[in-house]
A and B are shown apart, each in its own frame.
Chain A
Amino acid sequence: MGGFFPEAILFDGTWFEFNRVQLVRLIVLAVVLIAMCIIASRAKLVPGRVQSVIELVIDFVNNNIIANTLGLKDGKRFAPMLITMFFFILSMNLAGVIPGLNLAGTSVIGLPLLLALWTFVTYVGAGIKKHGFLGYLKAETMPPGIPWPIYILLIPIELLQVVVIRWASLTIRLLANMVAGHMMIVVFIGMTHALLFSGDWLIAISPFAGAMAIGIYGFEIFVGALQAFIFTMLTAVYIQLATSDEH
């Protein structure tokens, strides 16, 4: 486990310790920001190739995530947040499979935690704005149509769910997926390497291990996109649960 955290590059031992993960995050952030600014400033009615790819992703978030949960009309308020979140997580995850960077920005707990807390603050805020504080608690913890003795059990569970479990599980889901993906790639590439230089009949197996490594690599691209989708999706679902009129 200790080997997973890279060594510091700058400011070693202070609060502002700067290591490879931060470097990857900064590079990804800069690239995405600059690319987005350039594309947005040159936006045309008839999109070019790059612009149409970006618009495709935004349409995907709009049609598959927002329209299916919040509804396009209600979701308009949250659309900028959800689209930002999707792009951010997607680019940070894909940094894990870009040769040269090779480490996802989301593979250390800080970034997933920050994003999950953003989600938490947003849905609690939206719920309180809609129902008022007590009304929000009632709407979230007391689903109607249940005999009252069940509430004794249900209210603590639902409260725990709203206050802790939702954002904690969002964090762990994103983090564990990225860490596990990174380790899988390391294990398979390391295995290929070890077999290839074993100087034994085991060399014959190494192409299969290499093929597996490439397969895992492709799978990581898929997982990165899927996790971005699921994180955004669950955020939209939580906001919808908090702001819906009744369950």
Chain B
Amino acid sequence: MEPTILAEVSGNIATIGYGLAAIGPGIGLGILVGKTAEAQARQPEMRSQLQTTMLIGVAFTEILALLAIVTGLIF
């Protein structure tokens, strides 16, 4: 008897890996930017300094998602 295929996944499994890897940095960026917005609302005069600090933090969080892109392409 012929096996019946009901569902099939084709393509690279790395795309699912990227999706999973984007969850953590996504939450991290949300917290980071949200807290910065809060701090800016409390102290508008600190705005530029807070923004700079936020962007450094964003860079460190973002690298996790970017590593997922790179590993997906390499392996």
* Interface residues of B, Cβ cutoff 8 Å to A: 48-49, 52, 55-56, 58-59, 62-63, 66-67, 69-70, 73
- The binding surface of chain A is classed by DSSP as helix
Contact status A176-B59, CB under 8 Å: no
Q: Which residues on the B side are within 8 Å of A176 (C-beta)?
A: 66-67, 69-70
Contact status B48-A173, CB under 8 Å: no
Contact status B52-A172, CB under 8 Å: no
Q: Which residues on the B side are within 8 Å of A1 (C-beta)?
A: 73
Q: List 7 A-B contacts (CB under 8 A).
A: A68-B49, A68-B52, A173-B63, A226-B55, A230-B55, A230-B56, A230-B58
- Closest chain-B Cβ to A226's Cβ sits at a distance in Å of 8
Candidates A65, A173, A234; contact of B66 at CB < 8 Å = A173
- The binding surface of chain B is classed by DSSP as helix
Contact status B55-A229, CB under 8 Å: yes
Q: Which residues on the A side are within 8 Å of B55 (C-beta)?
A: 226, 229-230, 233
Q: What are the nearest 3 A-B pairs in CB distance?
A: A176-B66, A68-B52, A230-B59
Contact status A234-B56, CB under 8 Å: yes
Q: Which of B55, B59, B62, B70 has the most C-beta atoms of chain A within 10 angstroms of its own C-beta?
A: B59
| 12 more A-B residue pairs beyond the given contacts A172-B70, A175-B70, A179-B73, with a C-beta to C-beta distance below 8 A | A1-B73, A64-B48, A65-B52, A68-B49, A68-B52, A173-B59, A173-B62, A173-B63, A173-B66, A176-B70, A229-B55, A237-B56
